Chain A
Amino acid sequence: MTSAATWGGIAAIVITATTGDVLQARAMKEIGNLGVIRKTHGVLEVARRILISPWFMPGLFFMALAFFSLLVTLSWDDVSIVGPASASLTFIANALAARLFLKERVDHRRWLGALFVACGVALLAH
């Protein structure tokens, strides 16, 4: 039986992972095509631009938080419920967050894709 604590942990993973992904995506969108920057300015310039981006470090921080939330929640319950539940819910949360905060246009094709992937990941638990 999955306890309230486990679901709280899963919620924490989903929220921190989504926040991290959205912040990283925001950073990369602002920096622009890394391949082009590498060709014209070199690898060090790519690293510099990523590190000075105001979105990158907070994004990394939230990704680390998501990782530790996962570790803690895994100590409360089985990996077969925590892993797929958090991963599939993160797909849905990311689609919502990208629509809201990154103003990405999530069309039917992408909603359907995210839904299929989320269901598939949930099935991998069994």
Chain B
Amino acid sequence: MTFRRYLVLAAVAVFASCGDVCLARGMRGFGVVTTANWPQLFGIVLNPWVLTGICLLLLFFGTYLTALSWADLTYVLPATALSYVLMAFLAKLFLNEHVTVSRWLGIALITVGVGCVASGPAVAPAVRPHRERHEAEVHVGSGARGDA
């Protein structure tokens, strides 16, 4: 794992959380969606918060696909879970939501989980018959650290 790859993973978390917060902020102006007013949902795309949220989520999707192109799914998903922590902070700052003790505990647990996964190899060798397994481990173990 290079510094650049950690940057991509950080970008996934930042774009995802900021995008969601922007959408939530924009949807506050809309109110409750019912069977009577749902066609107006198409109009809300013009709301600047919603528009920013959509752009950020497109950036999230691009960085997410990039990360998946060089790392396992079981690496990318937990490693980018810091987005939940960021979202809690952003919700407190911009949406004035209250962050309780159990939420702080949740944030701590997520951080530990992210640390567990992110410090390991980004690509683990596929499950193979027993005889081949040792060889694959050695090969990927050296490759995951050395590449750009």
Which A positions have Cβ atoms within 8 angstroms of B?
21-22, 24-25, 28-29, 31-35, 50, 71, 75, 87, 91, 94-95, 98-99, 102-107, 109-110, 112-124, 126
User: Given contacts A22-B73, A32-B69, A98-B74, is CB(A116)–CB(B116) below 8 Å?
Assistant: yes
Q: Which 9 residue pairs are nearest across A and B when measured between Cβ atoms?
A: A116-B113, A123-B106, A120-B109, A113-B117, A120-B110, A113-B116, A117-B113, A28-B68, A25-B73
B residues 99-138 in Cβ contact with A at 8 Å:
100, 102-103, 105-117, 119-120, 124-127
A29 to B66, CA, bound (A): 10
Question: B117 contacts A110, CB within 8 Å?
Answer: yes
Which residues on B sit within 8 Å (CB–CB) of A104? 72-74, 124, 126-127
> Closest CB of chain B to A54's CB: distance in Å?
16
B88 is an interface residue with CB less than 8 A from chain A: yes
Q: How many residues of B contact A (CB 8 A)?
A: 38
Complex partner residue of B74 from A114, A118, A119, CB under 8 angstroms: A114
Which B positions have Cβ atoms within 8 angstroms of A?
33, 65-66, 68-70, 72-78, 81, 84, 88, 100, 102-103, 105-117, 119-120, 124-127
User: Given contacts A112-B113, A113-B116, A120-B108, is CB(A126)–CB(B102) below 8 Å?
Assistant: yes
Besides A94-B73, A107-B120, A114-B74, 18 other A-B contacts (C-beta < 8 A): A24-B65, A25-B72, A25-B73, A35-B70, A87-B84, A99-B127, A104-B124, A105-B126, A106-B74, A106-B124, A114-B77, A114-B78, A116-B109, A119-B109, A120-B108, A120-B110, A120-B113, A124-B107
Complex partner residue of B66 from A35, A120, A124, A126, CB under 8 angstroms: A35
Complex partner residue of B114 from A25, A98, A102, A117, CB under 8 angstroms: A117
A selection of 17 A-B contacts at a CB cut-off of 8 Å is A22-B73, A24-B68, A91-B77, A91-B81, A102-B72, A104-B72, A104-B124, A109-B119, A112-B113, A117-B84, A120-B105, A120-B106, A120-B107, A120-B112, A120-B113, A121-B110, A123-B103
A122 to B72, CA, bound (A): 24
Query: Nearest A residue to B117 by beta-carbon distance?
Result: A113
> Closest CB of chain B to A78's CB: distance in Å?
13
Question: B103 contacts A124, CB within 8 Å?
Answer: yes
Which residues on B sit within 8 Å (CB–CB) of A31? 69
A22 to B137, CA, bound (A): 23
Question: B73 contacts A113, CB within 8 Å?
Answer: no
A71 to B73, CA, bound (A): 25
